[in-house]
Amino acid sequence: MIGYLDCPTGISGDMCLGALVDAGVPLEMLQEQLHGLGLSDEFELRSHLVTRNGQAATRVEVDLNCQGPHRHLRDIEELIQQAQLPPQVRDRSLAIFRRLAAAEGAVHGIALEQVHFHEVGATDAIVDIVGTCLGLDWLQIDALYCSALPTGGGRVRAAHGWLPVPAPAVLQLMQMAQVPIYSNGIEAELVTPTGCAIATTLAQGFGPPPPLRLQRLGLGAGGRDLSLPNLLRLWLGPATLEPSQPSPTTTTPLSPAATPPSLETIAVLQTQVDDLSPQAIGYLFDQLLQAGALDVFTQAIAMKKNRPGVLITVICWPDQITTCETLLFQETTTLGIRRHWQHRHALQRQRVPVATPYGTVHMKLAWDGTTGTHYTAQPEYEDCAQLAQQHQRPWREIHRVALHCWHSQPEAATYLPSSSISISPSSSESSNDSSNDSSKSRSSSQAAASSRSNSSSDSDDSTDRRDSSRASV
């Protein structure tokens, strides 16, 4: 399941809770799990429906029973670690608070251990962060993405007095994650430190929504009315980036019709290393492909200090980024991984069985879904390899026979001829017989040319050999 945070008017912790509850997360479950933090006497959760610019949404509020103490990072970590939380909820919550501490430390110029939280150490911030992680876990969201964030404007009162918007901690969080930002013209605090920490810690990317099949929508309301609907919109659904397959209602490539082109969004991960053994790289390839990567390849490069290195590139679906990055960190010596998005136009594909004298071989057919043009038909490697071993015949022979059997069928006439298509062995012999006369003619011409060239110098022969060597390279 993929989640996308659409933040037209920003993001805050209570808006995250509202969107999750609106998407179906039980409020009672959140309350029960959060009481395990040992803060049950400090707060109560309450949700109700509100409207923002005519749109219905869920507003979740944390009602404080008392003013809890301002806690340090270590205090908060102990609360989370001692609670009986699911492992992923615990790890995500700790990561969010540690990122907050890093931002606060950078703003105040102090070490991480010395950070003393003010607003973000209050009870409601703990509830917002841990509650959000509980909701994401309940919805089984594997990958989370976020839109660009609006900056807001004006000023806001904080523990240190009046601060410009965005607040210093928010700006620091945005800078740390290289978040794309913009102004929507609203002069108010739109992104809070808690909301920004949640987004920058959990989101795998910022920008337009990834391709997904929208199955569920959650609207979380902010606390006041703005010129735009003050809503955080959580989009939920599975990724729609599976390899193209014909549906039951779609015509097959054997009777084509124009279908929408398959424009897919893929993630490209890259890192380079200069101290990894070939055995480790080979093992990494196997692990990445087994984990679902679409492709993995390496390139030889020259790195700093004139060291030869290897550039490792992994192509995967966006919802597999976390898995592939974990393997890269686990199996290599890299200290960082670059990621970017690319679009690819993929041909429609289908596997069709073809009977051959050696057994069944599946043909991989490819055609353009827009024009209906057929492009390639190639035998599956694994099928040819299996039959070659079974019959103790060369792989190339099985491949040739499979192509011949496929192109002997009437429905194959619409496919463009392949450069690798050869004729079956029996047909090949007759073709060779018919060409004997022309071969003899070419041989006599070559002999005559050879006699004329006997007077050529040794340097000419050497030049010819060099030219031939270059051509072979």
Say if residues 347 and 370 touch (Cβ distance below 8 Å): no
Enter the tokens of residue 327.
């393997």
Exposure b/e, 324-343, CB count within 10 A at least 16 = b: bbebbeebbeeeebebeeee
> What percent of the residues of the chain are helix, what percent strand, and what percent coil, each to the nearest 5?
40, 25, 30
Sequence letter at residue 56 = A
List, in order of start, the domains of the chain with CATH numbers.
2-237 (no CATH), 262-330 (3.30.70.1380), 348-432 (3.10.20)
Other CB atoms within 10 A of residue 150 CB: 22
Enter the tokens of residue 56.
């219905």
The DSSP call for residue 185 is: S
Say if residues 102 and 176 touch (Cβ distance below 8 Å): yes
pTM over 0.95: no
Backbone φ, ψ for residue 160 (5° rounding)? -100, 15
Amino acid 215: pLDDT: 94
Long-range contacts from 424-433, C-beta under 8 angstroms, 24+ separation: 424/400, 425/397, 425/400, 425/401
Tell me the helices (H) and strands (E) count for the chain, helix number first. 14, 17
Enclosing H/E stretch for 376: strand 374-379
Tell me if the bond preceding 256 is cis, omega within 30° of 0: no
DSSP-derived 3-state class of residue 23:
coil
Q: Which residue from 313, 279, 282, 308 is spatially nearest to 296, judged by alpha carbons?
A: 313
Amino acid 396: pLDDT: 96
Say if residues 115 and 72 touch (Cβ distance below 8 Å): yes
What is the full per-residue pLDDT of the chain (473 aa) written as tens digits?
899 999 999 999 999 999 999 999 999 999 999 988 988 878 889 999 999 999 999 999 988 877 667 788 888 999 999 998 999 999 999 999 999 888 888 887 887 766 766 554 478 889 999 999 999 999 999 889 999 999 999 888 876 678 898 989 999 999 998 899 999 999 999 999 999 999 999 998 888 888 888 999 999 999 999 999 999 999 999 887 443 444 433 444 444 444 444 557 788 999 999 999 999 999 999 999 999 999 999 999 999 888 999 999 999 987 788 899 999 999 999 999 998 878 777 788 788 899 999 999 999 988 776 677 788 889 999 999 999 999 999 999 999 999 999 888 877 766 655 444 443 343 333 334 444 444 444 444 444 444 444 434 444 444 443 333 333 32
Q: Which residues contact 4 (CB under 8 A, 6 or more apart)?
A: 144, 145, 146, 147, 209, 210, 212, 234, 235, 236
Say if residues 129 and 93 touch (Cβ distance below 8 Å): yes
How many residues are there in the chain? 473
Q: In DSSP terms, which residues pair with 72 in a beta bridge?
A: 116
Say if residues 125 and 194 touch (Cβ distance below 8 Å): yes
Q: Return d(Cα 81, Cα 437) in angstroms, integer.
A: 86
Say if residues 56 and 107 touch (Cβ distance below 8 Å): no
Other CB atoms within 10 A of residue 264 CB: 18
Amino acid 1: pLDDT: 87
Place of tokens 């108010």: 188
Per DSSP, the residues of 256-315 read ------EEEEEEEEEEEESS--HHHHHHHHHHHHHTT-SEEEEEEEEEGGGEEEEEEEEE
Amino acid 324: pLDDT: 94
Q: Which residue from 235, 247, 238, 304 is spatially nearest to 273, judged by alpha carbons?
A: 304
Q: Return d(Cα 302, Cα 320) in angstroms, integer.
A: 29
Quote the longest CA-to-CA distance of the chain. 108
Say if residues 309 and 272 touch (Cβ distance below 8 Å): yes
Pairing of strands 338-346, 359-367: unpaired
